[in-house]
């Protein structure tokens, strides 16, 4: 459960502050368990008195807002030319139209220019670039904002590190895999990068001479060879609503 360890520690501290014994920190016998408590807090629903004392419940609700009011990172990953930046930009526009969230867009190319200037394209440098994006996104989410990120982020280990950074800061994390096939991305080749990689001009290019590790933990998958931009963004927004990150339309 997202943030369960942090939630448990907060709950124990609050309970002890109110002079409650250790036996009252956990759910009562027959009451909903920790996962149910986390779900109630996520949804902003009332917490039954049999689950935790009302004074503790009030402090928990104050300290842990519902998901719709909590900071969030939406992290796009996919091959070059898959449509990540386009979808991220469209999503930001749709979120701004709906209102209710402060949005920061961290696009891969822009970050390379301003945040990661001087880094090359070795695996170590690419990992550093993604971690820097993750650090900024975690700070944004921890402050209650919404960070939308669109790097290639080809390696599962670093994506997991970013997820953990965001969770540790108190934010939510949604991974969007833009799963457009390599042959489609290469046929687009708007920047001529695949041609240069095939010619050996660009070494260690993701999808050609360096691997892309398909996410096994994506929250949303969108193939822009099959979906229009609006259809893909609708799919993401539907997930955000169902998961409680957005108020129902």
pLDDT at residue 19 tops 60: no
Q: Is residue 41 part of a domain?
A: yes
pLDDT at 219 over 70: yes
Selected residue with higher pLDDT from 189 and 45? 189
Q: Are residues 86 and 60 both part of a single domain? A: no
User: In angstroms, what is the C-alpha Rg of the chain?
Assistant: 21
Residue 96 has which token pair? 């701004």
| Residue from 116, 114, 86, 89 nearest 103 by CA | 89
Kindly tell me if the per-residue pLDDT of 87 is higher than 80: yes
Q: Does 115 lie in the same domain as 174?
A: yes
The owner of tokens 């709950």 is 11
| β-pairing verdict for 172-178 and 72-77 | parallel
Task: Let me know: does 176 contact 153? Beta carbons within 8 Å.
Answer: no
Angle at 171 between CA 166 and CA 174, to 5 degrees: 75
Given a contact cutoff of 8 angstroms between Cβ atoms, the answer to whether 82 and 189 are in contact is: no
Assess contact for 179 and 223: CB atoms under 8 A.
yes
Question: Are residues 194 and 121 both part of a single domain?
Answer: yes
Return the CATH number at 110: 3.40.50.300
Both 178 and 96 in a single domain?
yes
Judgement on whether residues 130 and 198 belong to the same structural domain of the protein: yes
Taking the C-alpha atoms of residue 245 and residue 145, their distance in angstroms, rounded to an integer, is: 12
For 90-101, the pLDDT digits (tens) are 999 999 999 989
Q: Which of 64, 98, 116 is the last residue of a domain?
A: 64
- The predicted-structure confidence for 48-71, as pLDDT tens digits, reads as follows 887 788 888 888 888 888 999 999
- Count the alpha carbons within 13 Å of 226 in the hemisphere toward its beta carbon: 8
What are 137's two structure tokens?
A: 């996104």
pTM for the structure as a whole = 0.83
178 shares its domain with 160: yes
The answer to the question of residue 248 being in a domain is no
Judge if 192 and 234 occupy the same domain: yes
Which residue range is the domain that position 219 belongs to?
68-242
Summarised one tens digit per residue, pLDDT across range 108-144 is: 677 877 787 778 778 898 999 999 999 999 999 999 9
Residue 105 pairs in a beta bridge with 148
The more confident residue out of 30 and 170 is 170
Same domain, 152 and 41: no
Residues 204 and 96 in one domain: yes
3-state secondary structure of 106: strand
**How many domains are there within the chain?**
2
Residues 75, 109 share a domain: yes
Distance CA 55, CA 158 (A): 40
Q: What is the DSSP letter of 4?
A: H
Compute the average pLDDT of residues 16-26.
47
Determine which helix (DSSP H) or strand (DSSP E) holds 73, and give its type and residue range. Answer: strand 72-77
Answer yes or no: is pLDDT of 9 > 70: no
Please tell me whether residues 73 and 60 are part of one structural domain.
no
Q: Both 139 and 203 in a single domain?
A: yes
Hey, CA dihedral for 58, 59, 61, 62, is it positive or negative?
Answer: positive
- What pLDDT is attached to residue 171? 95
What is the pLDDT, as a whole number, of residue 21? 45
Is pLDDT of 222 > 90? yes
């Amino acid at each position: 459960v997202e943030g369960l360890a942090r939630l448990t520690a907060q709950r124990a501290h609050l309970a002890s502050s109110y002079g409650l014994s250790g036996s009252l920190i956990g759910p009562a016998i027959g009451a909903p368990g920790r996962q149910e408590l986390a779900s109630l807090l996520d949804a902003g629903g009332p917490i039954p008195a049999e689950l935790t004392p009302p004074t503790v419940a009030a402090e928990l609700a104050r300290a842990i807002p519902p998901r719709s009011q909590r900071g969030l990172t939406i992290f796009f990953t996919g091959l070059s030319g898959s449509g990540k930046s386009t979808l991220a930009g469209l999503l930001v526009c749709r979120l701004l139209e709906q209102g209710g969230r402060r949005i920061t867009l961290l696009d891969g190319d822009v970050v390379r220019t301003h945040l990661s200037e001087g880094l090359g394209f070795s695996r170590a440098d690419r990992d550093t670039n993604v971690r820097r994006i993750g650090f900024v996104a975690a700070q944004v989410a921890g402050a209650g904002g919404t960070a939308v990120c669109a790097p290639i982020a080809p390696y599962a280990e670093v994506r997991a590190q970013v997820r953990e950074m965001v969770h540790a800061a108190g934010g939510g994390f949604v991974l969007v895999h833009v799963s457009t096939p390599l042959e489609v991305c290469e046929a687009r080749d708007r920047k001529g990068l695949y041609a240069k990689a095939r010619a050996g001009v660009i070494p260690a290019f993701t999808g050609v001479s360096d691997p892309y590790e398909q996410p096994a933990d994506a929250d949303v998958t969108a193939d822009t060879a099959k979906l229009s931009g609006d259809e893909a963004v609708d799919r993401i927004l539907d997930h955000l609503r169902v998961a409680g990150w957005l108020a129902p339309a």
